Amino acid sequence: MKIVSLSENLNIEKRIAITPDIAKKYKSLGFEVMLPKDYGLHLGFDNDHYKSQGVNIIENEKDLLVDSDVILQLGLLSDENLSSLRENQNLIGVLNPFTNKEKLQDLLKKKVNSFSLELLPRITRAQSMDILSSQANLAGYKAVIESFACFEKAIPMMMTAAGTVPAAKVLVVGAGVAGLQAIATAKRMGAIVFATDVRMASKEQVESLGGKFLTVEGSENLETEGGYAKEASEDFKQKQEDLLSETLKKIDIVICTALIPGKKAPVIIKENMIKNMQIGSVIYDLAAVQGGNTAYTEVDKLIDRNGVKIMGEMNILNKLPISASSLYSKNLFNFVSNLLDKKTGKININLEDEIIDKTLVK
């Protein structure tokens, strides 16, 4: 069985799907690992790093797809490479089936097996494969670092002979994996942290990290069976808006992480709220790539509205590509290990396995 990964467009994606240490693990499972020349060079992994782990380095990247069995990527391949795929090949990555539906249906007609790891079920056995959690964890951390770097005041309280500098107040909107890591990071750096989420189950988690959970009066639990947030009612949205409007007047830094899978990000922080925020405040919007949680978010731009800075990036993990690649490649390895029939050494698409059934694009 041959496992490959093609180089990503480095202008868009700096993460990689196979690190040298993970390549060694694939070899131990019986795979032949093939990668293009200079595949991980931008992260400090030169060709010799991979060769020392038994990887075959291929000069012509197009040759990789010809007889490969498993293709591991971050996102969907280019149209040219997609057209080269054949029956019974297995494509695994973050395929974004909501926006790439037509392309994935074309692969289905060609009998290519496409596995999109955003669709992993939230079950205990899938935790080691959960790319959303591993990547969101890093994103939440980095969002805090980036926003603090943009904030022009000290973060922790400082008592000096010249007077006291008050601790910065941070609000985290959305207490999923990214939000919880943002809370923990901001708290460690000395900020006073508040958080809000439509899922009431988040309250205990927020408070365990030292944050204060802002509760909307008469809250409804807006959580799907899979553990994701779902759309709120108009009444709830109005109550949340009123609470946020008052809270934001006293907040220095906001980290937005609210996303609904497959849909445009909900606009939570409206124009009038930003207008009433303190001059010098900073908003980091992790939902920027799906439209943003604020009225003014623009991808890869720093927007200044009435002295409030609003920022959000296409891919914040490009600023942590080595750590992100390490975790992502381990997630993929665990997923592939689950797909592999240890007796035959072949890929076994067992649809009775919930992990396989949920992630296979049908």
Tens digit of each residue's pLDDT (9 = 90 or more) over 338-355: 999 988 989 999 999 999
For 208, the token pair is 């365990």
209 versus 223: the higher-pLDDT residue is 209
Residue 326 vs residue 238, higher pLDDT: 326
**For residue 163, how far is the Cα from the chain centroid?**
41
Joined tokens for residue 210: 């030292």
Q: Using an 8 Å Cβ cutoff, are 242 and 272 in contact?
A: no
CB atoms inside a 10 Å sphere around CB 227: 12
Read off the pLDDT of residues 170-184 as tens digits, 9 standing for 90 and up: 999 999 999 999 999
User: How far is 73 from 90, CA to CA, in rounded Å?
Assistant: 11
- 264: which residues sit within 8 A by CB, 6+ positions away? 290, 291
Fold adopted by 136-318: Rossmann fold (3.40.50)
**Which residues, 6+ apart, have CB-to-CB distance to 149 below 8 Å?**
none
CB 27 within 8 A of CB 33: yes
Confidence bin at 227 (pLDDT 50/70/90) = low
Residue 327: the pLDDT is 98
The pair of three-digit structure tokens given for residue 280, joined into one six-digit string:
């010098």
pLDDT for the residue numbered 50? 97
Which amino acid, 122?
Answer: R
Band (61; pLDDT cuts 50, 70, 90): confident
Contact indicator for 316, 286 with CB cutoff of 8 Å:
yes
Whether 230 shows a pLDDT value over 70: the answer reads: no
Eight-state DSSP code of residue 146: H
Q: State which H helix or E strand residue 150 sits in.
A: helix 131-150
Q: Which residues are catalytic?
A: 122, 127, 130, 133, 228
CATH number of 2-119+321-355: 3.40.50.720
Q: What's the mean pLDDT in 108-129?
A: 95
Percent of the chain predicted with pLDDT > 90: 85
Average pLDDT over residues 101-128: 95
* Domain boundary assignment for the chain: 2-119+321-355, 136-318
Is 3 in contact with 26 (CB distance < 8 Å)? yes
Per-residue pLDDT tens over the stretch 32-44? 999 999 999 999 9
Q: How far apart are CA 215 and CA 204, in angstroms?
A: 12
Which of 56-60, 220-224, 237-241, 320-324 has maximum average pLDDT?
320-324
The answer on pLDDT for 153 being more than 60 is yes
Query: Other CB atoms closer than 10 Å to residue 74's CB: what's the count?
Result: 24
Residue 236 — pLDDT band, cuts 50, 70, 90? confident
Closest to 80 measured CA to CA, from 15, 1, 6, 10: 6
Mean pLDDT value across residues 279-284: 98
Same fold, 2-119+321-355 and 136-318: yes
Mean pLDDT of 304-316: 96
In angstroms, the CA 138 to CA 130 distance is 13
pLDDT for 201? 84
